A and B are shown apart, each in its own frame.
Chain A
């Protein structure tokens, strides 16, 4: 079974703090993704990576950065958290082609 894990299920941070969200997959997938999910807006892609040290902006990269130093690990960084970054963050990994992407359990982040 494919397993995608995220470092926290729930997180509470203060405005201006630096926040790290970590994602680890155990299936040797090339591609990894970070999304945020908000009511009425659906899943929106923040960043993705198709190889180690490679990263591409998604649709809403502002205020975020990412790091992929190892194939199995993809980190999302909020340099200076703001209240409008309160959301559910979902990590996913996949091999592309006919294969789907597999999602982690999500991190619900609250920025006060």
Chain B
């Protein structure tokens, strides 16, 4: 079967760094995506990894290890507005995406 695992919930303090992990087992691999979803809103795209290594975009970075079936999203200098769910998704083939159940991040003052 195809499976994506992420922690259900995390809590961190404003200004801190948090790492959200994602492990996957899929029939193929054609890219890994991270999305942010605020309560009651649609997911919005954060990052894309298809090769091993780190991709950095401002306060957000995403890392991929294809051999380990592992990715993480790193959020630096946390702000209150970063309180949201973070979704990890893998595209095993050409079209379909498989999503994890999401990690709900609470940022405390």
Which of A's residues lie within 8 Å of B, judged by CB? 31, 33, 35, 40-45, 48, 50, 56, 58, 90, 96, 98, 100-106
Among B50, B89, B101, residue most surrounded by chain A Cβ atoms (within 10 Å): B101
Selected contact of A103 from candidates B43, B98, B102, CB within 8 Å: B43
Q: Which of B1-51 contact A (CB under 8 A)?
A: 31, 33, 41-45, 48, 50
Selected contact of B101 from candidates A42, A96, A103, CB within 8 Å: A42
Task: Chain A residues near B98: list those with CB within 8 A.
Answer: 45
Q: Are B42 and A48 in contact (CB under 8 A)?
A: no
Selected contact of B95 from candidates A40, A41, A56, CB within 8 Å: A56
Task: Chain A residues near B89: list those with CB within 8 A.
Answer: 43
User: Nearest 9 A-B pairs (CB), nearest first?
Assistant: A42-B101, A103-B42, A43-B99, A100-B45, A42-B99, A103-B43, A105-B42, A106-B42, A50-B95
Task: Chain B residues near A50: list those with CB within 8 A.
Answer: 94-95
- Select from chain A the residue with minimum beta-carbon distance to B91: A96
Q: Is the interface of B mostly helix, strand, loop or mixed?
A: loop
Q: Are A98 and B50 in contact (CB under 8 A)?
A: yes
Query: Given A103-B44, A104-B42 in contact, is the A48-B94 Cβ separation under 8 Å?
Result: no
Since A43-B99, A98-B48 are in contact, a sample of 5 more A-B pairs with Cβ atoms closer than 8 Å, ordered by chain A residue number, is A42-B87, A42-B100, A100-B33, A101-B97, A105-B42
**Is B96 interfacial (CB-CB < 8 Å)?**
yes
Distance of A41 Cα from B87 Cα, bound (Å) = 12
Task: Chain A residues near B33: list those with CB within 8 A.
Answer: 100
Q: Which of B72-97 contact A (CB under 8 A)?
A: 87, 89, 94-97
Selected contact of B96 from candidates A42, A48, A106, CB within 8 Å: A48
Distance of A35 Cα from B102 Cα, bound (Å) = 15
6 A-B residue pairs with CB within 8 Å: A42-B101, A45-B96, A48-B96, A58-B96, A100-B45, A103-B42
